[in-house]
Amino acid sequence: MTMLSTRAGAAPYTRLLLTVYDLWVIRISNSFAWRCNSAHFVDLYRQHIGRRHLEVGPGSGWALANIDLPTEFDLTLLDLNANSLNHTASRLGVTVTQIKHDVLVPLDERTDTFDSVSINYVLHCLPGDWSTKAAALTNLARTLKPEGVLFGSTVIGIDHSFNMLGKALMFAYNKIGAFDNRRDDLPGLRRLLSDRFEQVEVTMVGNVAIFVGRRPRTTN
Ligand SMILES: C[S@@+](CC[C@H](N)C(=O)[O-])C[C@H]1O[C@@H](n2cnc3c(N)ncnc32)[C@H](O)[C@@H]1O
């Protein structure tokens, strides 16, 4: 894996793209390409977000902006791209801690531990196969409190049910490096999560795996 390929997954999120992200990704792509209505993500966040929360790869901050945030909410944003950090922080209008960091690289040991960590629509942007992407889940499992929960979703690349729009976007996004998910399969994702969490739930909606991991294993 090169630094260049890691950066490719975060590079598209310019200030301009973030202004149209909700329309293109949340409304159009989710419903018509991946066939996973955005309401599934709102439910996911509502069910699992905790008081001290780490949001990995916030993009436009859409999910956090569309739920009632817990009282005394303590939010940390982590992203390789400063545009996503700044856009989300100003959209939410709450005090946030921002960490500009590659999720594939271990976090500073002084980083807080969290009640909840979300990594929504980020795994399909990371370079390599599951053996490379595993580092992200290892790093995040380590930042959770023992009773903490990790949740998120990812477009599964090894899937024979893509529609025409899904196939076209898979081709285009993988070509430019915005996605690198052609080798991502569902059993592999389940294995990665089960190796790091005692309790795992994975549900497929359209081409999207929605996942929850509880009780991080301490051996990781
Ligand atoms: C597709 S957007 C997801 C946005 C949002 N979470 C959502 O659900 O719509 C991917 C986000 O992950 C960030 N990202 C991509 N690669 C990353 C990496 N290696 N480390 C940290 N953030 C990364 C991008 O900059 C972007 O903000």
As given in the structure block, the two tokens for residue 150 are: 């990790």
Atom of ligand 1 nearest to the CA of 84: 27
How much is the pLDDT for 204?
Answer: 97
The model's pLDDT over 136-162, given as tens digits with 9 standing for 90+, comes to: 999 999 999 999 999 999 999 998 899
> Averaged over 56-67, what is the pLDDT?
97
Position 170 pLDDT exceeds 80:
yes
Indicate the top mutation candidate among 41, 125, 155 to test ligand 1's pocket, ranked by most ligand atoms within 8 A of CB.
125
Q: Looking at per-residue confidence, does 112 or 30 come out higher?
A: 30
How much is the pLDDT for 5?
Answer: 76
Model confidence at 2, pLDDT cuts 50, 70, 90, reads very low
Q: Are 99 and 111 in contact (CB under 8 A)?
A: yes
Interval between CA 215 and ligand 1 midpoint (Å): 24
How much is the pLDDT for 159?
Answer: 80
The model's pLDDT over 175-206, given as tens digits with 9 standing for 90+, comes to: 999 999 999 999 999 999 999 999 999 999 99
> Is 8 a pocket residue for ligand 1 (Cβ < 6 Å)?
no
Tokens 């945030």, residue?
A: 69
How much is the pLDDT for 3?
Answer: 52
Residues whose CB is less than 8 angstroms from the CB of residue 85 and which lie 6 or more positions away in sequence, other chains included: 58, 77, 79, 98, 99, 100
Q: Which pTM value belongs to this model? A: 0.95
> Averaged over 18-37, what is the pLDDT?
94
Q: Are 183 and 174 in contact (CB under 8 A)?
A: no
How much is the pLDDT for 111?
Answer: 80
Where along the chain do its domains lie?
3-216
Nearest Cα neighbor of 123 from 27, 46, 30, 56 is: 56
In CATH, the architecture of 3-216 is 3-Layer(aba) Sandwich (3.40)
Position 1 pLDDT exceeds 80:
no
**DSSP-derived pairing of the beta strands 197-205 and 208-216:** antiparallel
